[in-house]
């Protein structure tokens, strides 16, 4: 038993830990995915996963065909939509997974919003986490009813250099103007990682001053949802804390 525990510890130690999210400023090196993607969940890791089972090719092809049929293929590379949680290796989970087919419709509106509103505002983006099965979601610290469990959510990072302040400013402006029409939630984590989902119009996360990142969107969402307004008075953000992943 002791040897088994030591072997597991050595295996975990062999996987490089993600770096701390950068407080990027112009003139600094630009590596937006580095804090969120470790070896094994990169493109070579995907190729290894793809070749590991003859079933994977058919599953990926079926998902890509589905996205094509609904006009949302090619917004981001399909293989990046198979990334699970950033902490997959800590949980003994796969780095990539094709979600159950009944969850696929949930991704369509999220991708439409990324195509129609997010990318025109900030440029190309890369998914770093999409579907998490229930066991992985729990292990990775996700909310019990996380939108990631149902393939409604995508965590993204911008690929064009931008500061966190400008990222929040631009995406919040877009969300206040169009988020309700799309029924989209927008959240911000530390660094440059942000979350969009098709669950409902809402927002969470804080800016560099520690106040609500998308205050305008929050006020709009609260005013249109009496239950949310009652549960979260104006003095409270009423949003998911950065430590709890949606």
pLDDT one-digit tens code per residue, 118-167: 999 999 999 999 999 999 999 988 888 899 999 999 999 999 999 999 99
Domain positions in the chain: 32-231
Tokens of 106: 């949930």
Task: Return d(Cα 88, Cα 82) in angstroms, integer.
Answer: 12
pLDDT at residue 92 greater than cutoff 70:
yes
Q: In this structure, what is the dihedral angle of CA atoms 97, 74, 106, 213, given to the nearest 10 degrees?
A: 100
Mean pLDDT in the chain?
86
Task: Give the per-residue pLDDT at 147.
Answer: 95
Cβ–Cβ under 8 Å, residues 127 and 77: no
Residue ranges of the alpha helices (H) in 53-163? 54-69, 105-113, 119-122, 134-139
Contact assessment for residue 198 and residue 183, using Cβ atoms and an 8 Å cutoff: yes
- Give the whole-angstrom CA distance, residue 158 versus residue 118: 10
69 vs 212: which has the higher pLDDT: 69
Q: How many CB atoms lie within 10 A of CB 37?
A: 22
Task: Of 198, 196, 195, 194, give the one whose Cα is nearest residue 183.
Answer: 198
pLDDT band at 210 (very low <50, low <70, confident <90, very high): confident
Nearest to 200 by CA among 182, 222, 227: 182
The Cα–Cα gap between 219 and 201 comes to: 11
172 has pLDDT over 80: yes
User: Is the pLDDT score of 243 beyond 80?
Assistant: no
Looking at the DSSP bridge assignments, the partners of residue 204 are 187
228-240, pLDDT tens digit by residue?
A: 444 443 333 333 3
Q: 24, 34, 15, 6: which is closest to 93 by C-alpha? A: 15
């Amino acid at each position: 038993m002791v040897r088994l525990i030591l072997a597991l510890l050595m295996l975990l130690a062999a996987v490089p830990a993600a770096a701390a999210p950068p407080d990027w400023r112009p003139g600094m090196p630009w590596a937006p995915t580095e804090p969120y993607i470790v070896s094994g969940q990169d493109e070579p890791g995907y190729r290894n996963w793809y070749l590991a089972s003859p079933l994977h090719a058919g599953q990926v092809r079926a998902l890509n065909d589905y996205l094509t049929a609904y006009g949302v293929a090619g917004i981001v590379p399909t293989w990046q939509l198979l990334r699970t949680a950033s902490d997959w290796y800590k949980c003994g989970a796969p780095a990539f997974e094709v979600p159950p087919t009944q969850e696929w419709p949930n991704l369509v509106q999220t991708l439409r919003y990324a195509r129609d509103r997010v990318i025109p505002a900030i440029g190309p983006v890369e998914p770093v986490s999409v579907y998490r099965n229930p066991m992985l979601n729990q292990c990775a610290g996700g909310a019990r009813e996380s939108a990631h469990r149902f393939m409604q959510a995508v965590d993204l990072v911008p690929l064009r250099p931008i500061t966190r302040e400008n990222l929040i400013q631009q995406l919040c402006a877009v969300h206040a103007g169009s988020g309700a029409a799309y029924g989209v939630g927008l959240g911000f984590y530390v660094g440059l990682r942000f979350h969009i989902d098709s669950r409902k119009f809402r927002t969470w996360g804080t800016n560099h001053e520690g106040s609500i990142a998308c205050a305008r969107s929050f006020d709009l969402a609260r005013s249109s949802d009496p239950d949310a307004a009652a549960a979260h008075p104006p003095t409270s953000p009423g949003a998911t804390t950065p430590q709890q992943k949606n």
